[in-house]
Amino acid sequence: MSFGMILSTAFASILASKMRSSLTLLGVIIGVTSVIALMAIGRGAQDSITSRISAQGAELLFVSVNFAADDAQSLTFDDALAIAGSPNAQDVDLVAASLTASNAEISLGATALTTTATGITPEYFEVNDYDLASGRDISPVDLLERTDVAVLGSNLATNLFPSQEATNQQFSINGRLYTVAGVLEPVGGFTRVDDQVFVPITTAESRLANNTAPGETLDVSQILVKATSADTVEAAAEQTDVVLRLQHGLNFGETADFTISNSAGIAETLEETTDVLVIFLGVVGGISLIVGGIGIMNIMLVSVTERTREIGIRRAIGARRAAVLLQFLAEATVLSIGGGLLGLLIGAIITDQFSGVQFLNTTFDAQMSVDIAILAMVVAAGIGLVAGIYPAARAAALDPIDALRHE
């Protein structure tokens, strides 16, 4: 029996039971569609996250507390000043410090919301490449006098002042009045900068974080160090390490109570983490494919039972067991590949529709790549083949005489 005849017979058998075949195809279609859509969306989210972090600049260093170190000290504002003023840190361009005070209660009239308030130094926006849409930045005078001024993220400004210019307007943070010094241009991304409020770091320390009394050591959450160029990042990191070890009284062989990382390293770590997410999404979609494979096996077993006499007649007129086996395997594979192709088409449409969707002020570009399509089709064909093996083997093993007697 030729391969072409096996395929034509398989198609004829499938078309003979259109409703049953359609329901079987549906399981495979849903499975392949799920795999393609979920993995494409996951990969788009992955690229969006990593590109946003990479966009901060390859020359940016993040200094934070290493809580795993013995006797870890807090980072202080003096640490930031030491890095900025060190004559040995010639590859350091700018230094900024920040102090995060979560759950700040923002209110204006009937509008009340909770967001993150971040105390910053004047260099903070320049280091992060955040631009002002209106107004002014936090100034050194604001730090010195602990003034009640704030710079608003674009979304927060719109929520508080939907019908007027926010600059120079007043609102409350934790019941205390602040004046809007400026408003940032939209930033987007998962950092939620557009929903935050920024105040002088000294103001945040004394009125929002309530860490210490004025005049004492000012602890900070993070220090940002910007190298003079992408080529000098490693040198700037080494120089920052030396300055902070001297500040904290650490020997050069000791484990540092701080960590220094750059945006490229963070992006790489996040990419590795999100790779796991993409694979997980693919597995979730693959579960639907397994369900579709079970449906194919069930239908093929029913088909073997219904066509027992047909199998007996074919065996009686000389058909070999291998021909019967190939016949039913061909039917199962045609069903799985047919469902896979339709699922591929629907998945591509869903992926296309999802591209450009806004979420958390970030535009997702769902990416359906060739490897995802090939993976989905190979898995679909494999599941169909595996699902068809047992029914096909059962059909091939039927005794011709017993099959002919079957009612």
Query: What is the per-residue pLDDT across 299-315, written as a single tens digit (0 to 9) for each?
Result: 777 777 766 777 677 76
Mean pLDDT on 318-343: 79
Whether pLDDT at 296 is above 70? yes
> Could you tell me the CA-to-CA distances from 83 to 98, 163, 223, 228, 342 in Å, in that order?
15, 43, 10, 14, 60
3-state SS class at 167: coil
3-state SS class at 135: strand
Instruction: Record the pTM.
Output: 0.61
Question: What is the model's pLDDT at position 280?
Answer: 75
Confidence of residue 268 (pLDDT cuts 50, 70, 90): low
3-state SS class at 359: strand
Four-point Cα dihedral 278, 284, 288, 289, nearest 10: 50
Mean pLDDT on 165-191: 89
Question: What is the model's pLDDT at position 79?
Answer: 93
Whether pLDDT at 178 is above 90? yes
**pLDDT (tens digit, 9 = 90+) per residue, 120-163?**
999 999 998 899 999 999 999 999 999 999 999 999 999 999 98
Phi (first) and psi of residue 76, to 5 degrees? -125, 165
% the chain with pLDDT above 70: 81
Whether pLDDT at 255 is above 60? yes
- Give the residue, 62 or 379, on which the prediction is more confident: 62
Whether pLDDT at 52 is above 70? no
Mean pLDDT on 331-338: 82
- Give the residue, 377 or 402, on which the prediction is more confident: 377
Confidence of residue 212 (pLDDT cuts 50, 70, 90): very low
Say which range, 109-123, 155-169, 268-282, has the weakest mean pLDDT: 268-282
Question: What is the model's pLDDT at position 215?
Answer: 53
Whether pLDDT at 357 is above 80? no
> Could you tell me the CA-to-CA distances from 144 to 73, 168, 198, 402 in Å, in that order?
25, 20, 16, 98
Vertex 138, ends 134 and 140: CA angle to 5°? 145
